[in-house]
Structure 1
Amino acid sequence: MPQIAPVPASGRLPLASAARHGTEYVDLEKLGYVEEEYYMVGLAPAITAAGERLFDAPYVTRFLIRKPKDPGRFNGTVVIEPFSWMGERGAGWILTRDYLMRKGYAFVGYTLSINRPANDPKTLEWDPEPRNLNLDFMRRYDYKRYAPLGSYYDSDRFRRGNGPDQYPPQAQGIAAQLALLLKSNLASGPMPGLNVKRLYVNTWAINGQLWFDYLDQGRHQQWRMPDGQALIDAYMTGHVVYGDLGGEVLRTPRNLPGDAPFVTVYSQTEVVHDASQAIALPPDTNQPKLRYYEVTGMPHLRLADQGTDSTEPHPADGDKRNEPQCQFLYDEPVETVVSAILEAMDRWVRDGTPMPKAERVVREGQGVARDPHSGNLLGGVRPPWIQVPSATYLTDQETACGTVYDTKVPYSAQRLQALYGSYTQYAGRFEAAKQQAIQEGYLLLEDARRVQPVAVPQDFTRDRQPKP
């Protein structure tokens, strides 16, 4: 059991705080939530990428907890997420925060990072002067608050593939100890008076590999609550191709649990990557509880998905500014799809109702198949903006625009008129697509108002122009 202590006030809001105005912001007071920050201290095993447990070492990390003030509003479930080492971003929080707070979940985001080593696997090639990586970045932001943080790392002894392991060797142990702390319902814990019954993982992008390793190496079965129950009741990861940063390329852990769902959500970027590499995806099964969702019209990163104060180059800022395929980012409300998938996973845990199964995106040779009429991918989870499109959605792998953002090519006014006749007819078909998404389980009724037609009336009379 780790030890915890409240982080003393420093005069600044914590990194990744929902109270900082930016992409992670919500009005906690208005929604009846409180946010607290704690140090967490313990001994955790140092484990290699191959799963060898070498020794135990001390660590000091921190976590942010957001929980209902009123115990009666708490639904008994905590969602945990390690913050991305790129700016302490909580991508899972950004994608599901409205749903979580509407339904009375608690959320815990925690730091999973190291002091910057001389041989830093995350920055050797692509960022020689990192501004937002590792604990150095956190200390520059608030030295008083984050100076004590640290965990073990040795780039020579811990390897993944042909290079240093990008993931802290103590990552699995820290995750398990946090789960143990939260599910033990200690009077001295961070949730006194709130009875935690379930704990889910919701982790996006790079850190999703942590949970793949955790399951693949059998930690779910080995590390349990004192009564034998699971520490973690469900795993959801997204926007990650396992093995992409070195090591073995697998899509399913070899030790899938029998008592917890494992869910992966792919954006178009991951779909196109796996298709180009001819990587086969596993079939969805109800035992073990496995689901893969390939969501069309979902970019790897939106402007809204960045952490507060984080920036990424826009394709129009560089030498691609005049490329037609690089002018428009797509930022449709994919959080509505993610929230619906999370709700379905919750039902699977609570009452045993299996999650919906979605067909895979259609492959064509070593690539993806596109509809010749719309230009969009065939198959997969198809949100309303793909069912009734007003643009062709592409990935950077296809356009070579050169950024982590993906881009779309809006239809011309002439093409919109040929497809739909008028804006009114287009909007009517878009509304019908929303109802279909609700029936299929990929849009919640409470979120339907957030999904609005992408094209506007003016797009039917004049071609869309990039914003200056």
Structure 2
Amino acid sequence: MPTQIDSRVMLRLLILWLASLTVLLSPSSHADALVAQPLLTPIPDNAGLKQRPFISSILDLSQYGYVEREFQMSGTANLYDADGRWRSDGLWNTTIAQADVPYATRLLVRRPADPQQFNGIVVVEWLNNTAFMDVDVIWAQSHDELLREGYAWIGVSAQFFGVTMLKSWDRERYGELSLPNDGVSYDLFSQAANAVRNQSALLLDGLPVKGIIGAGESQSAIRLTTYVNAFQAQAVQMYDAILLY
């Protein structure tokens, strides 16, 4: 009987594929110009009533040489409609239904403290919202691999219910966050990758980034499939690889 491939194995396969390329894939200057650069604002570790991030790591990351940091990411994003019928070829066209919609969300970062420990790869996880709140499923299932091999990991609160739960959980810490609906999630996810590439001095304390993997599991993988077909596969190629699990 076939065995199920878990997300840790998938990460290894993706890295082997990236390493086999003569030149690591990266977005063109055209793609980079299509994606807005968001504003990043550090959230102090002890901010708010709870004085910690929602879904902060239950592990003592310092024992692995890692640190956890949180940022507010804000900017504007477009809302999209399907343009024509979306077919099985995976090349889905869109039109802008509403432009420049303001948003503010958060990024949760777990990264090596020592640049020598960093393998150059950032896994950007679309946080799962099946339970109407952020859940770091990829991290939960793959943290042994991520920590052992020196990845950086970033969780993106890309959806309305997740951000709503954050504000309910700690209004002092997350009161400025705002997503009008899930429609902004696609531009938001592109902008997160753009921030990794162009604001790593702030977001990753200057860690040198070689590649970015977008990742999502179950419900978030469904959202990410739309992202891949309608945006990543078209012009907005901000990720070097995508893990759908």
| Both structures adopt the same fold (TM-score exceeding 0.5) | yes
Structure-1 residue corresponding to 2:176? 148
Structure-2 residue corresponding to 1:88? 134
- What amino acid is aligned across from residue 52 of structure 1 in structure 2? T
Question: What is the Cα deviation at residue 92 of structure 1?
Answer: 0.6
Question: What is the Cα deviation at residue 148 of structure 1?
Answer: 1.1
Taking the aligned partners of 2:125 and 2:82, their CA distance within structure 1 comes to 20
Structure-2 residue corresponding to 1:59? 103
Question: What is the Cα deviation at residue 216 of structure 1?
Answer: 1.6
Question: What is the Cα deviation at residue 56 of structure 1?
Answer: 2.0
Q: Higher Cα Rg: structure 1 or 2?
A: 1
User: 1:165-314 alignment to 2 at 5 Å?
Assistant: 168-187=182-201, 189-223=202-236, 230-238=237-245
Question: What is the Cα deviation at residue 218 of structure 1?
Answer: 4.1
**Runs of 4+ residues over 4 Å off in structure 1:** none
Taking the aligned partners of 1:218 and 1:41, their CA distance within structure 2 comes to 20
User: Aligned match of 1:138 in 143, 158, 166?
Assistant: 166
Could you tell me whether the CA contact under 8 Å between 2:122 and 2:153 is conserved in 1? yes
Taking the aligned partners of 2:243 and 2:113, their CA distance within structure 1 comes to 26
Pair 1:10-2:48 in alignment: yes
Structure-2 residue corresponding to 1:111? 157
Could you tell me whether the CA contact under 8 Å between 2:126 and 2:220 is conserved in 1? yes
Structure-1 residue corresponding to 2:112? 68
Taking the aligned partners of 2:162 and 2:105, their CA distance within structure 1 comes to 12
Pick the structure with more helix per residue: 2
Could you tell me whether the CA contact under 8 Å between 2:122 and 2:213 is conserved in 1? yes
- What amino acid is aligned across from residue 116 of structure 2 in structure 1? G
Taking the aligned partners of 1:14 and 1:49, their CA distance within structure 2 comes to 35
- What amino acid is aligned across from residue 17 of structure 1 in structure 2? S
Could you tell me whether the CA contact under 8 Å between 1:185 and 1:195 is conserved in 2? no
**5+ residue gaps in structure 1?**
19-24, 115-132, 154-167, 224-229, 239-468
Aligned to 2:103, the other structure's residue is in SS state strand
Give the alignment's Cα RMSD to 1 decimal. 1.7
Question: What is the Cα deviation at residue 210 of structure 1?
Answer: 2.2
TM-score by length of 1: 0.40
Change (3 A) 1:220 1:176: farther
- What amino acid is aligned across from residue 225 of structure 2 in structure 1? F
Aligned to 1:81, the other structure's residue is in SS state strand
Change (3 A) 1:30 1:134: closer
- What amino acid is aligned across from residue 176 of structure 1 in structure 2? S
Question: What is the Cα deviation at residue 149 of structure 1?
Answer: 1.1
Could you tell me whether the CA contact under 8 Å between 1:200 and 1:234 is conserved in 2? yes
Change (3 A) 1:152 1:191: same
Could you tell me whether the CA contact under 8 Å between 1:46 and 1:152 is conserved in 2? no
Structure-2 residue corresponding to 1:262? none
Taking the aligned partners of 2:49 and 2:231, their CA distance within structure 1 comes to 43
TM-score by length of 2: 0.74
Change (3 A) 1:205 1:198: same
User: Aligned match of 1:29 in 62, 70, 91?
Assistant: 62
Pick the structure with more strand per residue: 2
Number of aligned residue pairs: 193
Structure-1 residue corresponding to 2:19? none
Could you tell me whether the CA contact under 8 Å between 1:44 and 1:173 is conserved in 2? yes
Q: C-alpha offsets along residues 366-408 of structure 1, whole Å, 9 cap, x if unaligned?
A: xxxxxxxxxxxxxxxxxxxxxxxxxxxxxxxxxxxxxxxxxxx
Structure-2 residue corresponding to 1:284? none
Question: What is the Cα deviation at residue 235 of structure 1?
Answer: 0.9
Identity of matched residues, %: 29
